[in-house]
Chain A
Amino acid sequence: MRSLPVNVSLYLLLVALTAIPPVLWAQQPIAADVEFFENSVRPILAEKCYQCHSAGAPSLFGGLRLDSREGVLKGGDSGPAVVPGNPNESRLIQRIHGNPVLMPPTGRLPEAEAADLVKWVEIGAPWGHASQPQENPANVFNLEERKRSHWAWQPVRAAAPPAVRNKDWPRQPVDHFILAQLEKKGLQPAPPADRHALIRRLSFDLRGLPPSPEEVSAFVEDSSPDAYEKLVGRFLGSSEYGERWARHWMDLVRYSESHGSEGDPSVPEAWRYRDYLIRALNNDVPYTQLVREHIAGDLLSQPRINKEEGINESMIGPAHFRMVEHAYQPVDAWEDRVKCIDNQIDVVTKAFQGLTVSCARCHDHKFDAISQKDYYALFGTFYGARPTQRAIDTPQVLNTGRAKLTELKSQIRQNLAEAWLRETQTLNTLLRADTGGTGAGTGTPEAPRSLRNAIEQCFCEDGSPLRAWVDLRDKRGEEFRAGWEKLMRSWREEIGKREAFNQSSFKTLWDLAGASFDKWVGHGTGFSPKPSKPGEFSVLYEGNSVLEGIYPGGAYTHLLSTKHNGVIQSPRFTIDTDYVSLRLLGRDLSFAQLIIENYAVPAGGIYSMRYSPSDDEMGWARWKTTYWKGFTAYIEFATRDDVTRFAFAIGDRGIVDRRDDGRSYIGASRVVAHDGELKPRETMLPILALLEGAAPNSPEELGDLIGRRLTEAITAWRDENLTERQAVFLDYFIRHDLLPRSLEQLETLGPLVAEYRAVEKNVPVAHRAPGVIEEASPDQPLLIRGNHKNPGETAPRGFLSALAGDPYSDPRTVRLRLAEDIADADNPLTARVMVNRLWHYLFGFGIVRSVDNFGKLGEEPSHPELLDFLAERFRANGWSIKQIIRLLVTSQTYQMGSEADAEAMKVDPSNRLLQHANVRRLDAEAIRDSLLAVSGRLDGKMYGPSVRIYHAFGRGEIEGGGRKGPLDGDGRRSIYQEIRRDKQNPFFEVFDMPKPMTTRGARDATNVPAQSLALLNSPFVIGQAEEWGKRLAAGEAHSVNTRIEYMFLKALGRGPSASERDRAATYLASLAQERQLAESRILADAQIWQDFAHAIFNLKEFIYVP
């Protein structure tokens, strides 16, 4: 051993000396006592006490440590735990003996253990060998060492395909790797599969459907040398390819259309993600591009645009983040959020990296080079991704007509302003005529009804400017002046009081008309990047009115169209008041919500902080937040279809019952926090505009003043530099129809408005998909032992330290950085994990059989060089999934027959070396799709909302009042059937469709009697037999034999053997006999053929593909 530098060894010596409890210096414990302590006392302390009272405790309770003698003697907050030699005075003993027992919290110690503790104190509380529990050096976490010693972390090193003896067999480099290993074991590959078997295998693997009889015949008869390659090309190019492989991908991201738990709330529009996958796979979008889109598709500077559909495909990628399971109304929303992020980390790291990073939530990974800090680096990276619905159309689509509408709206404003300016004269005249009760003015029948109404209403309105008029119009001279003075004073006092009340009672969280707008995040066509100035308005899309009114400063979604969508969210804040109130307007099921942590599926009760405005004028809504003090939250304003959960009991299925033109809008101006019950008082009143400037001296002058203020306001509005006060004043006159709003009164505006409406009509309603929006949050603390209530040191955001270096410093781009780190060409796992998955889906087992775990507890690759060869090829081919699949399926290895060689079974019973093809059971979807394809019921329609689940048991309803779906799923392929967490299609369930919980790269293929029962008795299977039987009976066939031939071909991809044909004929004859059917009538009898079809469906070969 090399000697340590002097200063270091001296240091170690000091540490060693100070670690020895001082008492032991004076008095060495005798060996027997130490033994007693080690055997009888320390285990009790370790098991019952250390969880709270040791260095390793998540948080030290009562300041007491029982893992050293020093700690025991020093004690905790209430004093020493043990007085050596005196059990009665030792708090530790008192606490274990109390009634009720105080310690340990798990319950009273068994008598023997309690007695041992007493004895230990009596003999002076001797301590053992070391005061700190010793860490087993083998368990010490050494990231570098672990990385060095495990194959998966090493760079991909592609080697040339090895030489083989049998030079005739290989067709692809892949075959060299396989054959070389077989030859090493003295094995030869199985003979090739026959063409019938081959096309069936290939068809299921690439399309998830059986080949049609025509396809089989064409392939079998095609003698051209590239017949098989052509077939591969055709299948890979078919749209069914994407439908097959998208489902594999959905297993990786635990695809679900609901969040589970009580109520099983929907993930709105989740199916769009499924369609996105189908399109992406059919278009062979490079794998790394898909990875980038999955992690940060919402942040990509150059998103992938689908010109044909007019959608931003990249935006849909992050939808999988939303497919988490949520608790129902969790009383601890933070705990729920921690679990959701954990699930997101689990899925992303398993799916794309084949790593079980989630195992490092509570401690450094037990086996792999993944530290707990790494976990929280990712935790922080995902922390800022807030759930929301995203518009997926391209900006071009979403902005249809925007320029034109903006231009027209400006003209409408000018035109309106002119009309209104003219109208002020009329109004002034009317008011003047009414002074002194002379009768000609507002009180007369000639005065417009609107003015008469406004005058009537002004008595119960807050701060109506006409109230001043009504009060003073009869007064003259001094009386008028005194009246005016009094009025002014009372309003000033009133406003002063209100302002004082507001100031003392409310803390403004955000003023959306002002500077705090920039701190919010938002998206959607409707929200502008700047706050709206006072005086903005919305041109009504139908009806006689041009507008409803003008708005104060704030944020609005509908300034050009109520079809525009918008979401705007506040910064995250910690709730520390009893109430939060907000000033907002809106209509048509737009929503304001207080989202506690990220719990975006509230229903009511303790999550009742939702409000759906139904008024075009600003008003205050108030939420009680006492329950949530201490939690972080944010506020969201969103148009109808951008809300992550629909209102109340409506449920998203209820959409059809609602107006479905996509119109909805919301606007907001202020958010305040307060502890008193009262909402803020209004201080911005229309009458205030009259209080400024020189006082009028007579009703006439007052009339003039009103007219002048109005003229000023209209002019300012026209010039777009209105003050808040002017806006309120002007809005009063508009909404009271004292200024004309209707097209009848505004003749010159007609053509402009008509044109505006015509353009607006073509504004599309955005399509939404589940997504996220980045809140740009700070780094997050590590949670000690994974306990969400126990934050530790900050973990800078970044990727696994074994794979990358720099922390992610810019909070806005953390997910982008992660996407790049995973998609990095030098990441050794990304390519390996994916090619291994492709291998698994085509051969039945991965080269690494534990497809989701490349870590130490996973399996080693059976052909490591092949794995690296494929990984390298994948990267070199631009990450084309189809090219790897093509490479694999055109190998000799893929085309082998499935019959095992006896020698191979001895040497390699689990066929790891691939001496022959594996017989595989079809997965649930392929079985169902086969039934539909063979029966003729299959509806090849692609895409769109999912078909509701058919389920046999439990309540028929699912959220939103939807009933169970059709028995045959409308004949649509299985991928289009809805996936919900609390209900599964029993047919899928029985054939091992995984639960949407975590990444599932390899499905089970179990064998249970329930499968036999399903194929024998399920109404769905019988229904398909009936369907097929009817078609057969109605179709042409020369003989029973030719029909049997055809049925075998259609269902099994091959004709019957002679003995099978005989057996089938006997069976048919006995069926005919049982049903008392003459032989001549057999061919046209649907029932017989249904029976026979049903029997074919029950053949093992129907679901096991050799």
Chain B
Amino acid sequence: MRNHVAPRPYLSRREMLLRSSTGFGMLALRALMAGEAYAATNASQAAGPLAPKAPDFDPKVKNVIFCYLSGGLSQVDSFDPKPRLAKEAGHPMPFKTERTMFNEDGNIFPSPWEFKNYGESGIPISSLFPHIGSIADELTVIRSMTAKFMEHAQGNFYFHCGMPFTGFPSVGSWVTYGLGSENQNLPGFVVLGGGGIPLGGVNIFGNGFLPAIHQGSLIYPGQEEPLHNVRPRESDSLQRKRISFADDIDHEFLARVGGHPQIEAAIKNYEIAYRMQTAVPELVDLRGETEATKKLYGLDSPDSGTAAYGRQCLIARRLVERGVRFVELTMVSSDADQLNNPWDQHTKLKEGHAANALTVDQPVAALVKDLKARGLLEQTLVVFSGEFGRTPFVQGTDGRDHNPFGFSLWLAGGGLKKGHIHGATDEYGYNAIEDKQTVHDLHATILHLLGLDHQNLTYHFGGRDFRLTDVHGHVIQDILA
């Protein structure tokens, strides 16, 4: 059973002095301060709190990029065409449907968009997503997703943490807890902020009861300070002087208490923090990218949303290039009222979904293409999903209410059947009826692709062992290559 590590026994004072004063830790810091390249510090990084850990079995992928479409993308307008909706437009649903969030249920509402078969696989995709259409042969579309909750915050928590409430670790937290990360100068679980936070708040990226190192770190690429407190407020020289002074005093302290692993680790964290101050700005600095790359991602797009989301996607690629384990992209929206759940079209489906699709379509397709071109796609899993789908019947006159009973998402990357469609909803796109999958199944599958057994990844808290998948979840074998 993978479980948290027992506290390290204390070092003897002699060992401590050897390891911390003259050992790699100090050498590294001093080398750094002397301005040497930090390649020399690799050896010291190995023991960091996020040091890579071996998976349970051979992984298919190393990293995850999770494009989260908060608000809920409509399946019948994107990846699950339902011709019957057009035939029966305006008629009542022929079977009993569940209670909805707003209780303004109307009649069958056909998709305003045309579907087209793309690629050799012929996966049908609506005209909302022409660019994603161009990568159809890379996709594994699941049309039979189900969630358990009707409401955004609960849905968001559930989709991230497997539980509908605060206090449980996010999937990214579980992944870094299980595997660590391959870059010690950046957080292992990065959330790229687009401006809004999905409803429920930042705890949907929270570490829950796992150690704080596993919480999602919000990086805002466009902001002056992309990561909280990462920007030094003084000259490098002043800061080095301070760190160096503190380091000297700290070592006297460490010696006085006879060595203490926690204090030693806290000292070491200054090294990492110091390097993060360089690594994070370097990460978000896109000047080194070619014009062609920028264009591919839509950074030159006249649509500011496309450009902003394009920047997120490009940075996501840079993050996985740097070995960051789990990257989540939040949505971008120009509609200030919809910042937190842009896809939530209770009214004006046509306008809202079109604007959101324009924002994500080109950048996400570019991300998959670019990852592939760089040989990274096979070691990365890209997930594209919202917390639930939407009703095939209308809400009010031109919207769709929430529908967790059947919706679509797609995956791309290593270990998956490509150009593949899995599962089905009924003829109206309302209930998943074939190969019904739960969010727990998705989580189990993500962990499986990363080489982790979801039943083994546990953490003991408050009297019991917790899992991301609670007591549920089955790996979706049918989509594995």
Contact = CB atoms under 8 A, between A and B. Distances in A.
Interface string B201-221: 111001010011101011010
Interface in A1060-1106: 1060, 1063-1064, 1067, 1070-1071, 1074, 1091, 1094-1095, 1098-1101, 1103-1104, 1106
Nearest to B425: A100
Contact of B200 (A261, A899, A1017): A261
A1009 interface: yes
Given A1009-B272, A1017-B232, A1101 B436 contact: no
A1010 B252 contact: no
B257 A919 contact: yes
> What class of interface size applies to chain A in its complex with B?
35 or more
Interface string A967-1005: 000000000000001111010011010011111000011
Interface in A995-1024: 995-999, 1004-1014, 1016-1019, 1022
A110 B477 contact: yes
B272 A983 contact: no
Interface stretch (B7-15, B299-307, B319-327): B7-15
A517 B195 CA distance: 53
B9 A1022 contact: no
Contacts of B463: 350, 356, 359, 850, 852-853, 855, 857-858
29 contacts: A100-B434, A106-B436, A108-B434, A110-B477, A260-B153, A262-B200, A328-B154, A331-B101, A356-B463, A606-B101, A627-B99, A857-B464, A898-B257, A899-B258, A902-B12, A905-B9, A921-B266, A982-B200, A982-B203, A990-B212, A996-B166, A1006-B211, A1007-B49, A1007-B213, A1017-B230, A1017-B277, A1064-B245, A1098-B242, A1100-B266
Nearest to A1068: B245
Nearest to B191: A953
Contact of B258 (A262, A329, A900, A1017): A900
A156 B434 CA distance: 58
Contacts of B340: 955
A327 B477 contact: no
Nearest to A260: B166
Interface string B439-452: 00000000000000
B238 A1071 contact: yes
Interface stretch (B87-95, B117-125, B144-152): B144-152
A605 interface: yes
Contacts of B274: 1012
Interface in A852-895: 852-853, 855, 857-858
Q: Which of A359, A850, A855, A1099 has the most CB of B within 10 A?
A: A1099
A350 B270 CA distance: 37
A107 interface: yes
A909 interface: yes
Q: Which of B197, B215, B229 has the most CB of A within 10 A?
A: B229
A101 interface: yes
Contacts of A898: 257-258
A1009 B273 contact: yes
A995 B254 CA distance: 31
Contacts of A260: 153, 165-166, 200-201
Interface string B165-207: 1110000000000000000000100000100110111110010
B1 to A, nearest CB: 13
Given A107-B435, A1010-B228, A1013-B277, 20 more contacts: A100-B433, A350-B463, A899-B258, A905-B10, A909-B10, A953-B193, A953-B228, A999-B462, A1012-B272, A1013-B229, A1013-B273, A1017-B231, A1060-B249, A1067-B241, A1067-B245, A1074-B235, A1074-B241, A1100-B266, A1103-B266, A1104-B260
A954 interface: yes
Nearest to A855: B463
Contact of A899 (B203, B212, B215, B257): B257
Contacts of A1071: 238, 241
A10 to B, nearest CB: 41
Given A328-B152, A900-B10, A997-B165, A1010 B245 contact: no
A758 B152 CA distance: 52
Interface string A888-921: 0000000000111010010001100000000101
Interface in A312-366: 325, 327-332, 339, 350, 356, 359
Interface in B59-100: 98-100
Contact of A1106 (B103, B206, B257, B270): B257
Contact of A1009 (B152, B235, B269): B269
Nearest to A366: B464
A350 B434 CA distance: 43
A1057 interface: yes
> What class of interface size applies to chain B in its complex with A?
35 or more
A929 interface: no
A332 B149 CA distance: 10
Contacts of B100: 331
A1094 B249 contact: no
Given A262-B153, A606-B102, A1012-B272, A953 B202 contact: yes
Contact of A1063 (B151, B187, B249): B249
Nearest to A910: B7
B394 to A, nearest CB: 17
B47 interface: no
B376 interface: no
A150 B363 CA distance: 59
Interface in B325-350: 339-340
Contacts of A1006: 49, 211-213
A1057 B255 CA distance: 13
B273 A108 contact: no
Contact of A1100 (B167, B208, B250): B250
Interface in B429-481: 433-437, 460, 462-464, 474, 477
Contact of A995 (B151, B153, B203, B460): B203
A1004 B211 contact: yes
B29 to A, nearest CB: 12
B18 interface: no
B241 to A, nearest CB: 6
B229 A1100 contact: no
A56 to B, nearest CB: 14
B133 interface: no
Contact of A986 (B12, B228, B460): B228
B424 A853 contact: no
Contacts of A1004: 211-212
B435 A1100 contact: no
Contacts of B22: none
B17 interface: no
Nearest to B98: A331
B260 to A, nearest CB: 5
Given A106-B436, A952-B228, A1091 B242 contact: yes
Contact of B246 (A605, A858, A953, A1098): A1098
B164 interface: yes
Contact of A328 (B151, B229, B241, B435): B151
Contact of B263 (A264, A1098, A1100): A1100
Nearest to B193: A953
Contacts of A1012: 266, 269-270, 272-274
Contacts of A325: 165-166
Contacts of B339: 955
List the 5 closest pairs (A to B, CB-CB), nearest first: A997-B167, A982-B201, A356-B463, A107-B435, A1012-B273
B230 A1013 contact: yes
A106 B464 contact: no
Given A356-B463, A955-B196, A1098-B243, A1104 B266 contact: yes
A613 B167 CA distance: 39
Contact of B435 (A108, A605, A981, A995): A108
Interface in A55-112: 100-101, 105-108, 110
A107 B436 contact: yes
A7 interface: no
